[in-house]
Structures are given as structure tokens and as C-alpha cells.
Structure 1
Amino acid sequence: MNYWLFKTEPDVFGIDDLAQAPEQTARWDEIRNFQARNYLRDEIHAGDRVLIYHSSCRQVGIAGIAEVVGESYPDPGQFDPANALFDARSSADAPRWFCVDVRLRRRFARIVPLKTLKQIPELVDMVLLRQGRLSVQPVRPEEWRLIETLENGS
């Protein structure tokens, strides 16, 4: 099992939306960054755990935990000319963009703020704090364990 952080803007799709989805499961799609795509396509697998991170909002931080429930597959939006993220260079035989389905495991009682994460010396090398704009990023097991301890104390 691997650990990941998926960034989302809660006014577009956040942890509350995931909680209200059928079976609390939804497609994590519309990723259009090649490094994030490579993680989705090549390294993220069923059973992996995901920190759901809210960005571009009033309460920036980690909102909860999800689980990847299947292997990656081509993002359907890339094939739809009516979709804002249509990619004419993509084809069913050679898709460029991938997605995964995730299921909510739990919402945190309160957001673990980015400000808190930045104050913890053991997290100084976390991808989130070094390469903040990446929408899909790995989390080391020791970082994951530390963040879980912050859930109720942030």
C-alpha cells in the first residue's frame, strides 16, 4: 500500500461532495499535469490511501482520508469535445490522461491546516511543502503516520 495526497478545491469538489456521492465513492479526474498523470497511471493502485487536501479556499489543509478502490483508467473527459478538458491528441488507443475512483474512509473532525504542517520539522521534506502546486503527490509512510496524529489536535 502506498500513500498519496490529492489536492482539490472544495468549491469544485471537496470532501463533503465525496461524502454525499453514491457509496461515498467518486472518480478523481480532470488531472492535467504530466507528473500527476504519471502517478495516477503508473503508481497509484487499489488499496492505496489518500489524504484529501483542500486548497484555494478559506481553510486550506487536510480534510480527511480516502482509499483508491480500483486501478487507473482513461479519464473520459479527454475524449468528449463538449468537455472543457477535451484533448484532441488523445485517443482510445493512446489516452493521455488517467483517473482513479476513490472512496471516503473518514472526514477529519477538523481540517489539519497547512500552517500546522509547515511548523513540523519532520514534514520539511514533504512534497506538499516543497512542490506545493502538484495535485497528486506521494506521501511517505512516516509523514502519513504523523499527520494522522494531528487529526484531533490541530
Structure 2
Amino acid sequence: MSAFVHGFPFDPAYGRTLDELLAIAAPAPPDGFDTFWRDRYEAALRVGTAPAVGPQEDARDGFRIFGVSFTSVGGLRLGGWLVLPAEGPVRYGFVIGHGYGGRQEAGRDVPLPLPGGAAILPCVRGMGARSRRPGIPGDADRHVLHGVE
């Protein structure tokens, strides 16, 4: 098969073909991996999120944008944005995450939902305009390893 086709300014395939990339097996998970993530999931299910929707901050492209805050694991209040249709009922729901660059404002870096859609655009703990916290690095290089022992 030919080389892996991409539009990046670097070689994400490390010189391998697509077939070679697909043949690479995933490594074995570290000890306790399943238990750790199962426990995190169960802890998240027990959180009373207590969402609070703030005043409307923007209106564009057929949507109204509000600030939102909610409680996360460990009682930490985080924030983000809630996007609702300007008119009519909500027919779809979306959660739109972000990468390690965080999110500074709602929807400018991603398309808004389909017509009739609503979305929450949360900022993860320590990152983005709405969830910065003392003691949690906000830059990608340090954030990705924060708390990893």
C-alpha cells in the first residue's frame, strides 16, 4: 500500500505505510489500569453536578450562548458554555470537548451544533478560560502529566 496520506506539515506516520501502522498492536495496559478508570467512572456517577446557567453572553448563527458552571469529582466547580437554539425545541444534545490548548470562548474554535441542537462546551479542570485552578497546570506540557504517579 502507498504511504499514509495526510495534510500535516510533519510525518505523523513516522515513515510507515497505513498497513504498517494498522499492524502495530496496542501495548498491554499498566497494572491497575481497568480498576483505576472504573473507580473514576463510578466516582463521577455519584457527583451531584448542581449545574448553574449564567446570563446569556452571546447570540449568533441561530444560537444563544450562556456561561455554565457545574460540580465535578472532588467537589471542584468547573465552567464552560451552554449553547441553546435561539428558537424552537432542543432535538439533539452534544458535549463538545477540547484539546490541551483549552478553550477560551464558546464556539469560536468549533462549529456550533446542528439546527435544533444544544451543547455543553466544558473546560476541563485546570484548563481553558473557565476552569483554571491553583495547583493544576494550565499549559499542555505540564497538564497532561499532572497527578500521574
Q: Flag whether TM exceeds 0.5 (same fold).
A: no
Which one scores higher on RCO, CA 8 angstroms, separation ≥ 6? Answer: 1
Q: TM-score, normalised by structure 1?
A: 0.20
Q: TM-score, normalised by structure 2?
A: 0.21
